[in-house]
Amino acid sequence: MNSSGEFERTAGGAVLMDGIRLRGEIIASLRATIEAAGTPPVCLATVLVGSDRPSQLYVASKRKLAGEAGMVSRHVALDDDASQAQVEDAVAALVADSGVHGILCQLPLPAGLDPEPVLAMIPPEKDVDGLTERSMGRLVRGLPGHVGCTPLGVMRLMERYGVPTSGKRATVIGRSTLTGLPQVLLLGRKGVDATVTLAHSRTPAADMIEICRQSDIIVACAGQARMITAAHVKPGAAVLDVGVSRTEAGIVGDVDFEAVEAIAGWITPMPRGTGPMTIACLLENTLSAARMQGAFPA
């Protein structure tokens, strides 16, 4: 918001859905909640295998922001040549530790390691990334659990910036279990009540334009650079860009921001949009995990 209390807008007039700003608000709220409860320890444990530089930076950011939220950060670092058994033993120790409320194993693992058995070890109440099949099953069944951080971040942005969802048409482009599929479930659940269409890389181009043009909300998470153009967007629609592609021009999203921001009613920038919300929702899930385990007041 600007000094007059209005949402910031793009040059074309769309409401700019600022993920950095909202992340800061969520972290401040989490810290205030923890301090109001007497600062009981709320612990997020991270596991990093290998020396991949982007993964190291990402985990470091998670740990730093956990500290800003008033949480305890525990970290386990394993070498590039760590065996499958060593990784699983490290995760098993965190699972067994009642002082650890959330566990995040940074992916991808180095070549030769299988992430599935590692993720399967994490119980739903500690799966703050919302990645395991049990967490996804809980989302499908509407049971208590943790939702994937990226799709949850999209929902938080829409809530914060006043995007109406009830009775609206939404299109999710991309069908990954990390983002696309849970996003469909979140948009269609009771209380949100959007009518949701799932599109993907095999949707014919002409159909994609027609489907999107009928949509009040577009969530683009296909990983195809600038695939959403002005031709896809209904005037006044909310457009949320989750995709990330590396091009000669640098990192870009799935949305052609310059073309779309003059048509959309709401839009996320790239960067500073949905990306920062992933960590914010990871920390939100960690506090929820502590509550689920009886370590924090309900």
- 270-283 tens-digit pLDDT: 989 999 999 999 99
- Count of Cβ atoms closer than 10 Å to residue 271 Cβ: 15
Identify whether the C-beta of residue 243 lies closer than 8 Å to the C-beta of residue 224: yes
pLDDT at 249 over 90: no
Does residue 58 share a domain with residue 172?
no
Identify whether the C-beta of residue 97 lies closer than 8 Å to the C-beta of residue 105: no
Which of 261 and 5 is assigned the larger pLDDT?
Answer: 261
Does residue 185 share a domain with residue 99?
no
Q: Name the nearest CA neighbour of 42 among 61, 70, 64.
A: 70
pLDDT at 267 over 90: yes
Q: How many domains does the chain have?
A: 2
Collapsing DSSP to helix, strand or coil, 240 comes out as strand
Range of the domain at 158: 149-276
For residue 287, give both structure tokens. 């506090």
pLDDT at position 4: 53
Does residue 219 share a domain with residue 166?
yes
Distance CA 3, CA 260 (A): 26
pLDDT at 1 over 80: no
Beta bridge partners of 170: 196, 217
Does residue 271 share a domain with residue 177?
yes
* For the chain, percent of residues with pLDDT exceeding 90: 94
pLDDT at 3 over 60: no
Confidence of residue 298 (pLDDT cuts 50, 70, 90): confident
Q: At 242, which CATH number?
A: 3.40.50.720
Give the residue numbers marked as catalytic: 62, 106, 129
* For the chain, percent of residues with pLDDT exceeding 70: 98
Residue 293 lies in a domain: no
Which of 246 and 61 is assigned the larger pLDDT?
Answer: 61
Residue 281 lies in a domain: no
pLDDT at 68 over 80: yes
Is the entire prediction scored with pTM above 0.85? yes
Mean pLDDT, residues 201-216: 96
Does residue 158 share a domain with residue 97?
no
pLDDT at position 251: 84
Identify whether the C-beta of residue 262 lies closer than 8 Å to the C-beta of residue 9: no
Does residue 174 share a domain with residue 122?
no
Distance CA 214, CA 235 (A): 10
Q: Name the nearest CA neighbour of 17 among 243, 249, 242.
A: 242
Mean pLDDT, residues 133-153: 95
pLDDT at position 247: 82
pLDDT at position 92: 98
Phi, psi of 16, deg, nearest 5? -90, 115
Confidence of residue 109 (pLDDT cuts 50, 70, 90): very high
pLDDT at 128 over 80: yes
Confidence of residue 224 (pLDDT cuts 50, 70, 90): very high
User: What is the chain's mean pLDDT, rounded?
Assistant: 96
